[in-house]
């Protein structure tokens, strides 16, 4: 009984301590709220008293200017109404320029009658001064009005000062209340500290030592009894908890060991899966590993179709026959729960609408979404016979495997897509290379053959047969050269220029021959070191582009003069081919039919240069090719 009384006394002391704090805080808050409300009312009264001063000044101005009699009368009425409310209590209108304010938005305040003798006396003095002030208005006496106005302002200022002094006194009273509350709070705090240290802190220290032993893993040492009070009951509860923890630890260690083995197996399987990049092999591998991981009877992997409206059976493991084309709508279970909600579910197979499960006579199935972030690409399913259900650890293992498999599937799809794109790019590049080679070599040779044929026919027509035999022999040589170029281009071995050739000399000879045969006046400004400062592959491309530009000037421009400049310019090698021919509009050129311009632009881009074609009808054409200087090993 004594122990029970001690326990009750401890509880009662704590309750009294809390009650004391509650009452102290409540009284302090109540006093503060009352003081705030009083200060709010005092502020309204001071505001109205200050407004009286402004009204008296306004009345004086209206009376002296005689500008608005109705407003003067209204201001006098408002002054008297406010003074009466301040003197005797009542309703006062809060707001100054009431004539410009809608009546519905005016705010009225109720004022109590003054209780302070000094304030009542100040109000009476204002009333006497007001009567004298009002007497100076009717009839109007300017000199007397100004004197009475000054006296009235002094009386009003005295009233405002008294109101402010009274409000300040209330603030000081509130400060004293708060100071006393703070002192009482300190006393309660000291009493609370003594109580908690004697009846709480010391027992808790003893209990903490016992708990630390538990935290270090000592589950065999019993806790020291601390009596029958509240903390003693807590100690008994800890003792019961120690016994339960000791029993649960053994069970938990066994489950953790089993879980670790499963996760290790899942990790090893995931490592094997992510290294497989062949798409179809990967799909089958994931299905087989899912069956092995969960010791399932069968496993199936389904992927979303292109319209994301149904699941298509893609791979199976453990089935007696290859999978037939099976589709399941996403509006039916288990596809709906797995795909629509992204959840791993374990259900009885007979409760589903899956045709695969029905055909395999499965009793239980575990289905996990193939998910990566918010993207779901399909589902992975494992089945078992009757009497063998899936637990939570197996659900987590299949979910982990499905997540890893999803990433691997997406990567395999990406690799497959990259392979297809690479093949397309290689095919396109080979086509462009072949077109450029045929244009640069075979087309030029055929053009030369056409020109030679015209010359031979012209000579035969005019009877100039002396040199026909020699030109026919040259024509035959050119035809053989064209045949070799076709074979080389088709075999991808076209190499019209050798890297050991002197391209500076080569272009000089080419331009001289071209302009001589076509009757053009050639102007050439050639810095020989330019070609040598560029790598051999770029020299080859630059020569081919210059050759094409010069041939175009002779063949299509009907030019009389050809100017070629090869000079350094601001850190770049600059090649310019310019003619005075008929010109053309580059914007109207069809790149499909004018293959030469497209080949020139492609060569410049792939060799790291820039090509600019400037032309307009009747103003000739200017082709500018620039390359940055670089080492020959580049």
Q: Are 296 and 290 in contact (CB under 8 A)?
A: yes
Q: In angstroms, rounded to a whole number, what is the distance separating the alpha carbons of residues 279 and 289?
A: 15
Q: In angstroms, rounded to a whole number, what is the distance separating the alpha carbons of residues 563 and 547?
A: 13
Average pLDDT for residues 313-327, to the nearest whole number?
Answer: 69
DSSP 251: H
| pLDDT tens per residue across span 132-148 | 888 888 888 888 888 88
| pLDDT tens per residue across span 352-405 | 666 666 666 666 778 888 888 788 888 888 888 776 777 777 888 888 888 888
CB atoms near residue 277 (< 10 Å): 14
| pLDDT tens per residue across span 187-200 | 888 877 787 776 67
What's the N-to-C CA distance of the chain in angstroms? 101
Helix (H) or strand (E) holding 293: helix 279-293
pTM above 0.85, yes or no: no
Lowest-confidence pick of 222-226, 343-347, 376-380, 546-550: 222-226
Highest mean pLDDT among 12-16, 135-139, 327-331: 135-139
Average pLDDT for residues 148-169, to the nearest whole number?
Answer: 87
Backbone angles phi, psi at 467, to 5 degrees: -100, 5
Residue carrying the six token digits 């293959």: 595
492 — pLDDT class (breaks 50, 70, 90):
very low
Q: Are 152 and 126 in contact (CB under 8 A)?
A: yes
| Cα-based distances in Å from 229 to 193, 197, 202 | 19, 15, 13
| pLDDT tens per residue across span 207-237 | 787 778 777 877 777 877 766 666 667 777 8
Lowest-confidence pick of 279-283, 297-301, 453-457: 453-457
Q: What angle do CA 352, 358, 362 make, to 5 degrees?
A: 90
User: pLDDT at residue 622 above 90?
Assistant: yes
Q: Are 352 and 366 in contact (CB under 8 A)?
A: no
DSSP 255: H
Q: Are 311 and 339 in contact (CB under 8 A)?
A: yes
Q: At 585, is the secondary structure helix, strand, or coil?
A: coil
431 — pLDDT class (breaks 50, 70, 90):
low
Lowest-confidence pick of 282-286, 576-580, 623-627: 282-286
The dihedral through the CA atoms of 213, 215, 220, 222 has a sign that is positive
pLDDT of residue 315: 82
pLDDT of residue 95: 59
Tokens linked to 489:
């281009």
User: pLDDT at residue 531 above 80?
Assistant: no
Q: In angstroms, rounded to a whole number, what is the distance separating the alpha carbons of residues 86 and 588?
A: 93
Q: Are 83 and 127 in contact (CB under 8 A)?
A: yes
* Cis preceding-peptide flag for 334 (omega within 30 of 0): yes
* Cis preceding-peptide flag for 186 (omega within 30 of 0): no
| Cα-based distances in Å from 538 to 147, 275, 298, 504 | 106, 41, 63, 13
pLDDT of residue 279: 76
The dihedral through the CA atoms of 23, 25, 27, 30 has a sign that is negative
More confident site: 581 or 463:
581
List the beta bridge partners of residue 579.
562, 621
User: pLDDT at residue 17 above 90?
Assistant: no
113 — pLDDT class (breaks 50, 70, 90):
confident
CB atoms near residue 187 (< 10 Å): 11
pLDDT of residue 634: 34
pLDDT of residue 624: 93
631 — pLDDT class (breaks 50, 70, 90):
very low
| CA R_g for the chain | 53
Percent helix / strand / coil, the chain, rounded to 5:
65, 15, 20
110 — pLDDT class (breaks 50, 70, 90):
confident
Residues 6+ apart with CB under 8 A from 192: 17, 21
Lowest-confidence pick of 113-117, 289-293, 326-330, 628-632: 628-632
Average pLDDT for residues 392-421, to the nearest whole number?
Answer: 79
DSSP line for 435-468: HHHIIIIIIHHHHHHHHHHHHHHHHHHHT--TTH
State the chain's mean pLDDT as an integer.
76
More confident site: 247 or 105:
247
pLDDT of residue 72: 85
The full set of domains in the chain, from first to last, is 2-192 (1.20.1420), 261-421 (3.30.450.40), 499-634 (3.30.565.10)
What whole-number percentage of the chain has pLDDT above 90?
2
Average pLDDT for residues 145-168, to the nearest whole number?
Answer: 87
Average pLDDT for residues 580-587, to the nearest whole number?
Answer: 84
What whole-number percentage of the chain has pLDDT above 70?
76
Average pLDDT for residues 604-608, to the nearest whole number?
Answer: 86
103 — pLDDT class (breaks 50, 70, 90):
very low
């Amino acid at each position: 009984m004594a122990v029970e009384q001690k326990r009750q006394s401890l509880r009662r002391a704590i309750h009294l301590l809390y009650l004391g704090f509650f009452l102290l805080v409540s009284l302090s808050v109540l006093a503060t709220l009352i003081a705030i409300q009083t200060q709010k009312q005092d502020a309204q009264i001071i505001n109205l008293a200050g407004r009286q001063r402004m009204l008296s000044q306004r009345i004086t101005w209206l009376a002296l200017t005689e500008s608005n009699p109705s407003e003067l009368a209204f201001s006098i009425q408002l002054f008297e109404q406010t003074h009466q409310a301040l003197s005797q209590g009542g309703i006062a209108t809060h707001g100054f320029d009431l004539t410009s304010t809608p009546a519905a938005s005016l705010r009225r305040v109720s004022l109590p009658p003054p209780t302070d003798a000094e304030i009542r006396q100040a109000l009476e003095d204002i009333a006497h001064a007001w009567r004298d002030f009002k007497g100076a208005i009717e009839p109007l006496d300017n000199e007397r009005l100004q004197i009475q106005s000054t006296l009235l302002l002094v009386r009003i200022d005295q009233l405002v000062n008294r109101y402010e002094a009274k409000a300040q006194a209330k603030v000081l009273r509130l400060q004293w209340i708060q100071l006393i509350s703070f002192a009482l709070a300190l006393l309660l705090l000291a009493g609370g500290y003594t109580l908690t240290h004697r009846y709480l802190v010391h027992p808790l220290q003893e209990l903490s030592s016992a708990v630390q032993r538990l935290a270090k893993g000592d589950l065999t040492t019993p806790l020291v009894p601390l009596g029958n009070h509240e903390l003693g009951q807590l100690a008994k509860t800890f003792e019961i908890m120690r016994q339960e923890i000791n029993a649960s630890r053994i069970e938990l260690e066994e489950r953790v060991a089993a879980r670790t083995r499963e996760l290790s197996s899942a990790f090893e399987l995931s490592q094997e899966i992510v290294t497989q990049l062949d798409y179809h092999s990967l799909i089958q591998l994931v299905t087989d590993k899912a069956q092995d991981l969960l010791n399932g009877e069968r496993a199936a992997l389904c992927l979303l179709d292109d319209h994301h409206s149904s699941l298509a059976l893609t791979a199976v493991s453990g089935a007696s026959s290859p999978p037939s084309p099976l589709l399941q709508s996403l509006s039916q279970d288990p596809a709906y729960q797995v795909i629509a909600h992204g959840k791993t579910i374990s259900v009885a197979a007979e409760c589903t609408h899956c045709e695969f499960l029905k055909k395999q006579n499965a009793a239980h199935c575990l289905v996990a979404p193939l998910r990566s972030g918010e993207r779901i690409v399909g589902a992975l399913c494992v089945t078992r016979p009757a009497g063998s259900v899936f637990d939570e650890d197996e659900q987590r293992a299949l979910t982990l495997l499905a997540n890893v498999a999803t990433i691997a599937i997406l990567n395999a799809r990406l690799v497959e897509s990259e392979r297809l794109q690479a093949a397309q790019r290689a095919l396109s590049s080979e086509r462009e290379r072949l077109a450029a080679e045929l244009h640069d070599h075979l087309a030029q040779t055929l053009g030369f053959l056409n020109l030679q044929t015209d010359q031979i026919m012209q000579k035969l027509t005019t009877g100039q047969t002396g040199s026909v035999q020699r030109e026919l022999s040259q024509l035959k040589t050119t035809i053989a050269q064209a045949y070799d170029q076709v074979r080389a281009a088709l075999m991808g071995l076209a190499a019209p220029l050798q890297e050991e050739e002197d391209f500076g000399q080569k272009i000089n000879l080419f331009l001289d021959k071209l302009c001589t045969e076509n009757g053009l006046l050639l102007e050439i400004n050639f810095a020989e070191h330019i070609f040598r400062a560029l790598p051999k592959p770029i020299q080859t491309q630059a020569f081919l582009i210059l050759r094409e530009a010069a041939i175009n000037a002779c063949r299509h421009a009907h030019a009389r003069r050809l100017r070629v400049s090869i000079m350094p310019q601001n850190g770049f090698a600059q090649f310019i081919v310019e003619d005075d021919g008929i010109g053309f509009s580059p914007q109207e050129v069809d790149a499909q039919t004018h293959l030469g311009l497209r080949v020139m632009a492609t060569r410049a881009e792939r060799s790291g240069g820039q090509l600019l074609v400037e032309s307009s009808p009747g103003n000739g054409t200017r082709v500018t090719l620039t390359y940055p200087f670089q080492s020959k090993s580049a």
